[in-house]
Amino acid sequence: MAGVMPMAWSVFFVLLFPGLLFTAAAGLAATWVDRKVTARLQWRVGPPLAQPLWDILKLMGKEVILPRGGNHGLFLAAPLFGLAAAAIASAIVWLPLLQGASFVGDVIVAVYLLVLPSLALMLGALASGNPLAATGASREMKLVLSYELPFLLCLVVAIVRSGFSISLTGIAAVPVVGSISGALAFLVSLLCIQAKLGFVPFDVAEAETEIIAGVYVEYSGAPLAVFKLTQAMLLVTLPVFLSAVFLGGLHFAGWGILWSILKIVGIIVLVIVIKNTNPRVRIDQAVRFFWHGLAPLAAVALALALVGRATGIGWL
């Protein structure tokens, strides 16, 4: 037991703390891009660059109101659980791209960690004891079960295209999107991260006009700020993950810096445009869309990747 605590602190300072600071700053910048592009699409000016930070700080100073009859410990722990998962996932995604520090299976660990913020959101909503929050948690659970299948199939496409590598550095060495199967997998993954972020048209778990913010209905003050910060971090972590898996990774040397930034910003802008040009779908429509639409398309992409690998046809 004597060596457990030093090891835990080492993990915190090496992975969690730097990942939290770096991704929080990048996530708030991505949130500003989201709000600015949304404003331009609506013929508005939009907020200043520092506005997302001021919003988080303002929420941090607000009173925390605990729901009567809820599980207060789990209610308050859920946002921290989601934030920690997002921070560690960010560190695992960024380190191979910035320093080449990778390990076998890191892509699987990253996928697992990227599911945990949604689970934290469900746990926090269910712990509140509010029926509207429970409805939002039920919708979030169905949504996760819907989009994870096509997302994982797309990830397998990238693994097959990279020669069955399960490390981010190995997958990033191959521009997966340069083939038919890779292009299909990238398109499906882009729509899956739209749901992972809880953005329109897949914001059914929040749905302000239907269930009054749903999973967030009982949250206020610092816990709500932590949830918002987690979503901001995912807004940059997920595009970076897609860049690593499908677009040949990131290269921060020479002109590669500009190209890497453009890839990340391009994915973020695509997500924002989809968010602002589509109406919210019902949960049954979302489930059908992922299971009956995207899952078969991802399966076709996987079949093409396997055929291309077996026959040596690179463009498949």
Q: Using one digit for the tens of pLDDT, what is the confidence trace for 201-225?
A: 998 888 777 777 778 888 888 888 9
pLDDT at position 4, please?
45
Total tally of structural domains belonging to the chain: 1
Asked if pLDDT for residue 102 goes beyond 50, the answer is yes
Asked if pLDDT for residue 34 goes beyond 50, the answer is yes
- 49 in any annotated domain: yes
Structure-block tokens of residue 254? 């020479």
- 62 in any annotated domain: yes
- 24 in any annotated domain: yes
pLDDT at position 9, please?
42
- 243 in any annotated domain: yes
Asked if pLDDT for residue 17 goes beyond 80, the answer is no
Domain that holds residue 176: 4-311
Residue 16: closest CA among 77, 78, 91: 91
pLDDT at position 16, please?
56
- 221 in any annotated domain: yes
- 316 in any annotated domain: no
Angstrom distance (rounded) from CA 311 to CA 139: 42
- For residues 271 and 199, the answer to whether their CB atoms sit within 8 Å is yes
Q: What percent of the chain shows pLDDT beyond 70?
A: 90
SS3 content of the chain, % helix, strand, coil (to 5): 75, 0, 25
Q: What is the dihedral of CA 230, 232, 233, 238, to 10 degrees?
A: 110
Angstrom distance (rounded) from CA 249 to CA 240: 8
User: Is the model more confident about 297 or about 177?
Assistant: 297
- 156 in any annotated domain: yes
Q: Angle at CA 83, nearest 5°, toward 80 and 84?
A: 85
- 175 in any annotated domain: yes
